[in-house]
Amino acid sequence: QENEMEIVNDTIIIEFFLKGFSNYPRLESLLFVLCLVMYLVTLVGNGIIVAISVLDSHLHTPMYFFLSNLSFLDICYTSTFIPLMLVNFLSKRKTISFIGCAVQMCLSLSTGSTECILLAMMAYDRYVAICYPLRYPIIMSKRVCLGMAAFSWILSLMKSIMETVIAMQMPFCGHNVVSHFTCEILAILKLICVDTSLNEIIMLVGSIILLPIPVMLIFVSYIFILSTILSMNSTEGRHKAISTCSAHLTVVIIFYGTIIFMYMKPKSKEAQISDELFTVLYAVVTPMLNPIIYSLRNKEVKEAVKKLLKKKYFST
C-alpha cells in the first residue's frame, strides 16, 4: 500500500487516502461481512420503528415521535460512513475526494451530535410524562415536540458546518494519509501543519454543549423520575413507569458509556488497532441495538409490529 500513500508537497490536496485497516487485509474481509450484516439489520430495525410510528395511530404520541426521530437519525448516521467503509474494505485504492471528505465529515458530525441532544429531549419527555401526567398533553404539545426536534437537528448541523469549514480551509502539509476509516475530524486535524488551537477550542465548546450538558439534563430528569416512582402507592403504576423509561435509559447507558470509555481510557501506540476496531463496533453496533432494545422493552412497539405484519401478510 505504500506506493499509494502519495506525498503531497504543496498545501493543495484534491483527495485523501483512508488508511483504515489496509495493513490487515484478512481483518478487512471479516469486517466487511460483519459490518454489512449489522448495517442491514440497522436499516431494517430502525425502518420498522419509523414505519410503525407513522402508520399506527396509537403511537402518535411525543414518546414515539422522538423514538422515530432517533431511528431515522440512526439510519442517517450509519449511512454517512458505512457504505464508504464497505467499499474501502474491498478496494485497493481507498481514496475520497476533498469535497467528499468534507461532506462526509459534516454529515457524520451533525448526525452524531443530534443524537446527543435528542436523547436529552427524550429524557425530558419521560420526566414530564411521569412527574406531570395530567399536564403532559399540554406541555408536550405537537408544536413543542416539533420545535424540540428541529432545534436538535438545526443546532447540530450549524455546529458541524462551522467545525468542518474551519478544519477544511486550514493548510494541509506533508502527506494526505488519514489514519482512520472515515474522514474523522480529529484524524484530519493531524494533517494540518499550522496551529489548530482555534479548532480545538471550538470543538471543546461543542463537546461541552453536546456531552456534559445533555448528560446533566438526563441525570436530573431521572432523579425526579425516580423520586416520583418511589412515591407512587400503586405497584402497577410503578412498574408501568419503570417500563416506559427502561428502554431509553438502556440506550443512554450504551451510547454515553461507549463514548466515555473511548475518550477516557489511556491511549497507547500498541492499542491503535484495537482502538480503531472498538470505534467501528461502537459506530455500527449502537445504532443496530436501539430498535432491538425498544422492541424488547416495550409492549406497545411489539404489538404495533405484530399488527403491521398481520396487515401486510394476512390481509385479504
The per-residue pLDDT string of the chain (316 residues; one tens digit each, 9 = 90 and over) reads: 444 344 444 456 778 888 877 777 788 888 899 999 999 999 998 998 898 888 877 778 898 899 999 999 999 999 998 998 888 888 878 888 889 999 999 999 899 889 989 999 999 999 999 999 899 999 999 999 999 999 999 999 998 998 888 888 877 776 788 877 888 887 887 887 777 677 777 777 777 777 788 889 999 999 999 888 888 877 777 887 787 788 888 888 888 877 777 666 555 544 456 667 777 777 888 888 888 887 766 677 777 777 766 665 555 4
Which SS3 state, helix, strand or coil, does residue 286 take? helix
Q: Output b/e per residue, 50-75; b: 16+ Cβ within 10 A.
A: bebbeebeebebbbbbbbbbbbbbbb
Helices (H), the chain: 25-55, 62-79, 82-90, 98-131, 136-139, 142-168, 185-189, 197-210, 212-230, 235-264, 272-297, 299-314
CA distance 35 to 160: 25
Q: What is the DSSP letter of 265?
A: S
CB 300 within 8 A of CB 60: no
d(CA 145, CA 151): 10
Other Cβ atoms less than 10 A from the Cβ of 191: the count is 20
d(CA 15, CA 98): 5
C-alpha cell at 49: 420503528
Residue type, 281: L
- Break the chain into its structural domains and give their ranges: 15-314
Which residue from 311, 288, 281, 244 is spatially nearest to 46, judged by alpha carbons?
Answer: 288
Report d(CA 56, CA 68) in Å as an integer: 12
User: Can you give the pTM of this predicted structure?
Assistant: 0.84
Q: What is the CATH number assigned to the segment(s) 15-314?
A: 1.20.1070.10
Please give the grid coordinates belonging to residue 278. 472498538
Of 130, 115, 145, 114, the closest CA to residue 221 belongs to: 130
Residues 260-291 as b/e (b if ≥16 CB within 10 A, e otherwise) read eeeeeeeeeeeeeeeebeebbebbbbbbbbbb
**For residue 97, is it left (φ>0), alpha (ψ between -120 and 50) or beta?**
beta
Alpha-carbon distance of 295 to 52, in angstroms, equals 11
Cell numbers 467499499 label which residue?
87
- The phi, psi pair for 60, rounded to 5°, reads -85, 60
Q: Across-strand partners of 95?
A: 17
C-alpha cell at position 9: 508537497
Predicted confidence at residue 12, as pLDDT, reads 66
- 62-79 and 98-131 helices cross at what angle (nearest 10)? 160
Classify strands 15-18 and 95-97 as parallel, antiparallel or unpaired.
Answer: antiparallel
pLDDT at 33: 92
Please tell me the predicted confidence (pLDDT) of residue 59. 78
Residues 6+ apart with CB under 8 A from 154: none
Read off the C-alpha cell for 114.
443530534
**Integer Rg of the chain from CA:** 22
Phi, psi of 22 (to 5 degrees): -60, -20
